[in-house]
Amino acid sequence: MTDLKMAQSDQKQQMHHINHTDLEDFVRQILIANGTSSQNATIVSKCLVSADLRGVDTHGSNRIPSYMERIRQKCLDPSATPSLRQITPVVAQVDGHNGWGFVAAHKAMSRAIEMAQEFGMGMVSVKHSNHFGMSAWLVKQALDAGMMSLVFTNSSPALPAWGGKEKLMGVSPIACGAPSGNDSRSFILDMAPSVAARGKIYKALRRGEKIPVDWALDGEGKSTDDPAKALQGVMLPMGGPKGSALSIMMDVFSGVFSGAAFAGHVTNPYDPSKPADVGHFLVAIKPDLFMTMDEFKGRMDYLYKRVTESEKADGVEQIYFPGEIEQIMEERRLEEGIPLAEAEVAGLNKEADLVQVEHLKIQPA
């Protein structure tokens, strides 16, 4: 979401600002009280708050009530430990054992990075996992180790196949990244293949807002600005058949290939009735395979400059590199805190009450 769109949506309800370390600690305590180990709770809370910091509010700490409901209904096992099987020197597979998707994917990316450090690249497929939120945190995990990456996942049915009308394919994000040069920002692409991520509709519903009419169709196939009606219908793919094909691509690599659910059989993270069996596909790549690191960085600087300094269209103030808006947002929110709507704070505090955790600390206005 752009800076401007974020500012506009923040104005519609009373917002509270929360310091990111307070939010991370609060989320961590709720996770531990619900059966997650301290080590895994640290991974999950960091991933969720990283989404909040980057302005991807749809995939941040607000997901806690729905995730906890899945634990209460025994659809997600918070104590599961993912296992890893090495297939070839550069290929491994992780079985998430129906535990946290964040933990299984974190383990997979850690192994992919180790293989890339030794052999130039590492590929890890993940099965029997759960929703892992914002894909960009995995791209960032690779960037922190100086690696390029591909991060694919499948997800529950939300989009029709092109020409169809039933919810079949997931709004499954495609993400990838590359380290920055010395004078530029990292490349982080993280996008759902729909016009908008479905989480943006859940967020509008939580905040009592309307949605743009080109995001989804209602249950009768008509355009709608009502998030509740949109959730009864289907999401619209970006670029028509091309968005639909990208969603099928995520299912081929993350679902078919891994042994996880696919072809419309992944369970929605908001449905606490059965395990999700999500699949992921992660690749880490060493950037200096074909040239020195200095040359790679110089070329990234040149690309960044060419893109961001290209001639602007009428009415455009600034041209951004993919992921740059979110990086600027993160710098701002590290300073100013993370804005959460009143209803969202109440939802989180309700979870805290259930497990006797202290309420969220709100920054003084």
Ligand X SMILES: NC(=O)c1ccc[n+]([C@@H]2O[C@H](COP(=O)([O-])OP(=O)(O)OC[C@H]3O[C@@H](n4cnc5c(N)ncnc54)[C@H](O)[C@@H]3O)[C@@H](O)[C@H]2O)c1
Residues near ligand X (CB under 6 A) are 1-2, 56, 58-59, 131-136, 153, 155, 171-173, 175, 188-192, 196-197, 199-200, 320, 322-323, 325-326
Report the distance separating Cα 153 and Cα 246, nearest Å. 11
Report the distance separating Cα 148 and Cα 114, nearest Å. 13
Q: Nearer to ligand X by C-beta: 289 or 319? A: 319
Q: Work out how close the CB of 195 gets to ligand X at its nearest, in angstroms, rounded to a whole number.
A: 9
Q: Nearer to ligand X by C-beta: 257 or 320? A: 320
CB atoms within 10 A of CB 140: 24
Residue 17's nearest CA partner among 356, 363, 325 is: 363
Q: Work out how close the CB of 169 gets to ligand X at its nearest, in angstroms, rounded to a whole number.
A: 11
Q: Nearer to ligand X by C-beta: 185 or 286? A: 185
Report the distance separating Cα 64 and Cα 346, nearest Å. 12
First to last CA, the chain: 24
Q: Work out how close the CB of 55 gets to ligand X at its nearest, in angstroms, rounded to a whole number.
A: 8
Q: Nearer to ligand X by C-beta: 21 or 318? A: 318
Q: Nearer to ligand X by C-beta: 177 or 337? A: 177
Q: Which pairing describes strands 187-191 and 174-178: parallel, antiparallel, or unpaired?
A: antiparallel
Q: Work out how close the CB of 160 gets to ligand X at its nearest, in angstroms, rounded to a whole number.
A: 16
Q: Work out how close the CB of 356 gets to ligand X at its nearest, in angstroms, rounded to a whole number.
A: 30
Q: Work out how close the CB of 253 gets to ligand X at its nearest, in angstroms, rounded to a whole number.
A: 14
Q: Nearer to ligand X by C-beta: 20 or 280? A: 280
**If you count them, how many residues does the chain have?**
365
Q: Nearer to ligand X by C-beta: 192 or 348? A: 192
CA 272, 274, 275: angle at the middle one, nearest 5?
105
Report the distance separating Cα 40 and Cα 19, nearest Å. 21
Q: Work out how close the CB of 269 gets to ligand X at its nearest, in angstroms, rounded to a whole number.
A: 7
Concatenated DSSP letters for 22-74?
Answer: HHHHHHHHHHHHTT--HHHHHHHHHHHHHHHHTT-GGGSGGGHHHHHHHHHTT
- The two three-digit tokens of residue 127, written as one number: 């099965």
Q: Work out how close the CB of 218 gets to ligand X at its nearest, in angstroms, rounded to a whole number.
A: 20
Q: Nearer to ligand X by C-beta: 32 or 227? A: 227
- What are the strands, taking DSSP E only, across the chain? 15-18, 83-88, 91-95, 121-129, 148-153, 157-159, 169-170, 174-178, 187-191, 216-217, 234-235, 278-285, 338-341
Q: Work out how close the CB of 120 gets to ligand X at its nearest, in angstroms, rounded to a whole number.
A: 26
CA 23, 25, 26: angle at the middle one, nearest 5?
65
Residues 6+ apart with CB under 8 A from 282: 105, 108, 109, 112, 123, 124, 125, 126, 138, 149, 150, 151, 152
Q: Nearer to ligand X by C-beta: 36 or 50? A: 50
